[in-house]
Amino acid sequence: MLNGICILPVIPMRKIKSDTSEMINQVLFGESFKVLKKQNKWSYVELFHDQYQGWIDNSQYIITKKNTQNFIISNKKYSNIKIKSIKQPLLLGSFVPQNKQLRAQINIEENLHFCTIKPVDIWFKKIANKYLNTPYLWGGRTPIGIDCSGYTQMVYRFFNIQLPRDAHQQEKKGAELKSIQKIKVGDLAFFEKNKTITHVGIIIGKNKIIHASGKVRVDLINKKGIFNLESQSYSHKLKSLKRIFNY
């Protein structure tokens, strides 16, 4: 089976093999995948980091000799990288391959230094806040555009925790919290409509949540749900609270 890697800043993953199809996800620079089907213009792929599947354009990735999970996560909001002597943006949360053979194949030129994100309780807020005011984009996973579960997945990535792609999948992870009084920074809150998980956000304070709704924003949360500070009304009904990790 063939393996591939994204060497552009970000590429769309489509629901069906068409440029006009719904974008269900994005593949960031350095993310690799299995090529399950390869046709004239399109490939059906499965990402290694979360097993998400979809169609991508053949011209937007390259085949690699082998899969390697040896990489550094870019935790700078603004930086650049050279690929085949062409300067391009390196978006927050991208993977920078460290394997020498792979770097030679891609022809990477970079001399970037990234922050050590410890202690976690302080850096969790810092990383989460790097996405503030990012516009909501269905299928998005970058500071240019992001959706609610793409946002939570990306923030947790910096702390070596790989969440699934979609909110209903993420809700199955972690330990359930029975009371909102027990929440702490980094816990996930899930919200429902007609008994279906429709939204997810990250607790960043005793009664505060950061989430992608219109844009990445901070609102209040209580046992009823999210209270939107701009509209002065409830926007999402609380379904469950989960603790994904302890620190």
- Give the domain CATH number at 177: 3.90.1720.10
Which tokens hold the place of 143? Answer: 């500071």
**pLDDT number for residue 182:** 92
Selecting among 113, 115, 168, 199, the annotated active-site residue is 199
Task: Indicate whether 129 and 237 sit together in one domain.
Answer: yes
Domain closes at, from 40, 74, 109: 109
**94 burial class (0-12, 13-18, 19+ CB within 10 angstroms)?**
buried
CA distance 138 to 159: 24
Is residue 8 scored above 70 in pLDDT?
A: yes
For the chain, how many structural domains are there in total?
A: 2
Task: Indicate whether 19 and 126 sit together in one domain.
Answer: no
With contact defined as beta carbons under 8 Å apart, do 22 and 55 qualify? no
List 63's β-bridge partners, or say none. Answer: 4
Selecting among 49, 115, 168, 211, the annotated active-site residue is 211
Strand arrangement, sheet containing 86-89: 86-89, 80-83, 108-109
Is residue 246 scored above 80 in pLDDT?
A: yes
Task: With CA atoms as reference, report the closest residue to 149 among 172, 167, 171.
Answer: 167
Is residue 67 scored above 70 in pLDDT?
A: no
- Coil, strand or helix at 181: helix
Indicate the helix (H) or strand (E) that contains 47: strand 42-47
pLDDT digits (tens, 9 = 90+) for 187-199: 999 999 999 999 9
How many Å is the maximal CA-CA distance in the chain?
A: 55
Is residue 69 scored above 90 in pLDDT?
A: no
Task: Indicate whether 157 and 233 sit together in one domain.
Answer: yes
Selecting among 115, 148, 168, 236, the annotated active-site residue is 148
With contact defined as beta carbons under 8 Å apart, do 45 and 11 qualify? no
Average pLDDT over the chain reads: 95
pLDDT digits (tens, 9 = 90+) for 101-148: 999 999 999 888 888 888 888 899 999 999 999 999 999 999 999 999
Question: What is the domain extent for residue 132?
Answer: 120-243
Name the percent of the chain lying above pLDDT 90.
Answer: 87
CA distance 73 to 97: 9
CA distance 32 to 125: 28
With contact defined as beta carbons under 8 Å apart, do 39 and 64 qualify? no
115 catalytic residue (yes or no): no
Task: Indicate whether 143 and 85 sit together in one domain.
Answer: no
- Give the domain CATH number at 102: 2.30.30.40
Contacts of 143 (CB under 8 A, 6+ apart): 77, 91, 92, 130, 131, 134
Indicate the helix (H) or strand (E) that contains 4: strand 2-6
pTM greater than the 0.85 cutoff: yes
pLDDT digits (tens, 9 = 90+) for 201-238: 999 998 999 999 999 999 999 999 999 989 999 999 99
Return the C-alpha torsion angle 136, 137, 141, 145, nearest 10: -70
**pLDDT number for residue 117:** 86
**pLDDT number for residue 45:** 98
Name the percent of the chain lying above pLDDT 70.
Answer: 99
**pLDDT number for residue 181:** 93
Residue 89, preceding peptide bond in cis (omega within 30° of 0): no
Where on the phi/psi map is residue 107: left (φ > 0), alpha (ψ -120 to 50), or beta?
left
49 catalytic residue (yes or no): no
pLDDT band per the 50, 70, 90 thresholds, residue 55: very high
**144 burial class (0-12, 13-18, 19+ CB within 10 angstroms)?**
middle
Task: Indicate whether 10 and 104 sit together in one domain.
Answer: yes
Indicate the helix (H) or strand (E) that contains 232: none
